[in-house]
Amino acid sequence: MFLRVHPKAIFLLTSLFLVACQREFIVSPDSEIIPEKPSVIPAGIETLPRMYITTPSAIVSKDNWMDGATLRLEVRVAGRDSVVYEGDTQIRGRGNSTWGSYPKKPYALKLDTKANFIGTGKTRHWVLLANWGDRTLLRNQVAFEAARRTSLEWTPSGTFVDLYMNDPDSGEQDVYQGIYWLGEKVRVEGSHFEADYLYSFDTSDRGKEDYSAWCHYYKGGEWQEGEVPVTLKYPDKDDYPLYYWISYLKDASLMALQEKEDAIYHLATGEWKRQLDLNSFCDWYLVNELCVNAEGRHPKSCFYYIRDGIMYAGPVWDFDFGTFRKSSEVPRLRLRSSLYYFQLFPLPEFRSHLIARWKYLRPRFVSLVDYVDEQADWIRSREEANHDMWPCYPNPLASPEAGGYVNGDEDLSFQEAVDRMKEAILWRIEVLDEQLAMLQ
C-alpha cells in the first residue's frame, strides 16, 4: 500500500521520526482494567433507560449539526422513575448506508456539556446506533465485548436505551422510536487510549478523503488493487486554522503513515518488527474473523493509530451488517488478503504470533455465548415493540439473488436469531481452529 506523498513538507517532518526503538517485537500488554467512574445511568436499573430528544425541526442531514435540541434521560430503580440527565444538545444523522437506505435512522449527539452516561468518562460526543438490519440488535455490542477481551487498548462502550423523539411536523411529543444503542464515538479525546494520529480507511469516504492509499480490496467478487480513501480522524483538522492543516498537519500525518507502510512493504529491512504493535494487529484481525466481519475487505470502518512511533490496529467498529452467521462458502480466513495483512501473512514470524494470540484468546471467545444470553435477556421485554415498529425484512441492500436477506435472520423470531448468533460464534471458533492450524 503506497500513499501519494506531498514532498513540499518533508523538510518539516524530520524531527517526527527520530524515535529509536530497540525492541525486536513491539507487543502491547493485555488491556488494563480501568476503574469504573460515576455514571449518569446508575447501577440497579430495572428496565432500559428512556432517552427523550426534542428537536426544533426534522433531522434531514448527516453533515450539518442541528442546534436547539434538548435531551432528557430517565431510569427506573427500585420501582421508581427518575430523571438522571437533562441538557441541550446538537444532533445530526450519521452513517452511510444506515442513514441513506434504512428506515430507522442513526444519530450523532454533541452535548453542550460533557456527560458520563455509562461510566466510561465524560465527553460531549455520543452516538445512537439504530441497528435496523440486525434482528438480534446485539451484533455491535457482542463484537465490542469480544474486542474488550483482547489486548486492544480501547473499544467503544455503550448500552441499550428506549428512544423517544418529538414529531416537529405534527407537534406530537415523545413518539417511540425503538431500541437504540447509546455509546461512545471512535475518537481519541475522552477515550482510554492516546494517539498522535488516528486514521480511517473507508471507501465510503471517497470524495471526502484527506489522502489515498494503494491497497488490496475486494470488489465485484474478486480481489483488486487500487486507491482507497484515507481520512485523518485525529487530530481533527476542524480544530485548527486552515493554514496549519495545509502547511503542516496534512503532510505530517501523511508522512507518519508513509513511514509505517515503508516498513511493511520493505519487509527485508526488519523495520516492521519495530514499528508495528503485533498484539493489536493480530487481535484486531482475530476479532473481525471471529465475527465474520467482511468490512475490512472493502475496506470500511477500519482504524489504525500511531503513538510514539508505533502503529496500532484498532479500534474496532461497524459489525451490524452480515456478521455472526454461518457461511455456505468453503471455510476460510476472509481477511488475510486485505489491507496490511496481504503483506504480513507470508511472514512465518507474523503467523506464529497470530497463532499464539488465538490460543490465548480462544477461551475468552468461547464464553461470548453467555454474554449473548445476558444481553438478549436485558432487551427482551422491549424487543417485540421495536420489531413491530421496525421489521428488518426485506433488506434494501440485499443482492437481487438474495431474496431480501443480508444476514439470513431477518424473518426469524428474536430467540431464533439469538440462538443462531451463538451457533455462528462456536462454528467460527472451529473454523479458526482449523484454518490457523494450517498456517503452522
* Average of per-residue pLDDT across 138-152: 99
Is 135 within the bounds of a domain?
Answer: no
Tell me the pLDDT of the chain averaged across its residues.
90
Residue reference for cell 468490512: 295
The helix/strand/coil state of 269 is helix
pTM above 0.85, yes or no: yes
* Same domain flag for 171 and 282: no
b/e map 367-401, b = 16+ CB within 10 Å: ebbebbeebbebbeebbeebbeebebeebebbeee
* Same domain flag for 200 and 175: no
Q: What is the pLDDT, as a whole number, of residue 403?
A: 87
Is 150 within the bounds of a domain?
Answer: no
* Average of per-residue pLDDT across 282-289: 99
* Same domain flag for 172 and 200: no
Q: What is the pLDDT, as a whole number, of residue 27?
A: 52
Is 137 within the bounds of a domain?
Answer: no
Q: What is the pLDDT, as a whole number, of residue 30?
A: 53
With contact defined as beta carbons under 8 Å apart, do 130 and 103 qualify? no
Half-sphere exposure of 344 (CA within 13 A, CB side): 26
Asked if residue 18 has pLDDT above 50, the reply is: no
- pLDDT > 70 fraction of the chain, expressed in percent and rounded: 92
Is 297 within the bounds of a domain?
Answer: yes
* Same domain flag for 321 and 200: yes
Cα-only R_g, the chain? 22
Would you state the cell numbers that stand for residue 337, as one nine-digit string?
488478503
With contact defined as beta carbons under 8 Å apart, do 339 and 299 qualify? yes
Q: What is the pLDDT, as a whole number, of residue 181?
A: 99
Q: What is the pLDDT, as a whole number, of residue 242?
A: 92
* Same domain flag for 359 and 425: yes
* Average of per-residue pLDDT across 21-28: 45
Is 35 within the bounds of a domain?
Answer: no
* Average of per-residue pLDDT across 279-298: 96
Residue reference for cell 502503529: 311
Residue 182 CA: distances (Å) to CA of 15, 136, 145, 328: 41, 16, 15, 33
* Same domain flag for 309 and 371: yes
The helix/strand/coil state of 213 is strand
* Same domain flag for 202 and 106: no
Half-sphere exposure of 239 (CA within 13 A, CB side): 7
With contact defined as beta carbons under 8 Å apart, do 154 and 41 qualify? no
* Same domain flag for 213 and 179: no
> What gap in Å lies between CA 357 and CA 282, rounded to an integer?
7
Q: Which pLDDT tens digit goes with each residue over 212-252?
A: 877 888 887 888 887 889 999 999 988 899 989 999 999 99
The helix/strand/coil state of 155 is coil
Asked if residue 17 has pLDDT above 50, the reply is: no
Is 278 within the bounds of a domain?
Answer: yes
* Same domain flag for 270 and 353: yes
Would you state the cell numbers that stand for residue 431, as one nine-digit string?
473454523
Q: Which residues span the domain enclosing 264?
A: 1-30+194-440
Q: Which pLDDT tens digit goes with each residue over 157-214?
A: 999 999 999 999 999 999 999 999 999 999 998 777 899 999 999 998 999 999 987 7
Residue in 394, 389, 391 with CA at minimum distance from that of residue 413: 391
* Same domain flag for 165 and 235: no
Is 39 within the bounds of a domain?
Answer: no
* Same domain flag for 90 and 205: no
Q: What is the pLDDT, as a whole number, of residue 278?
A: 98
Total domains in the fold of the chain: 2
Half-sphere exposure of 434 (CA within 13 A, CB side): 10
For residue 337, the 8-state DSSP code is: T
Asked if residue 355 has pLDDT above 90, the reply is: yes
b/e map 417-436, b = 16+ CB within 10 Å: bbbbbbebbebbbebbeebb
Is 339 within the bounds of a domain?
Answer: yes
At residue 96 the predicted structure's pLDDT band, cuts being 50, 70 and 90, is confident
Handedness of CA 24, 30, 36, 42 (dihedral sign): positive
* Same domain flag for 97 and 3: no
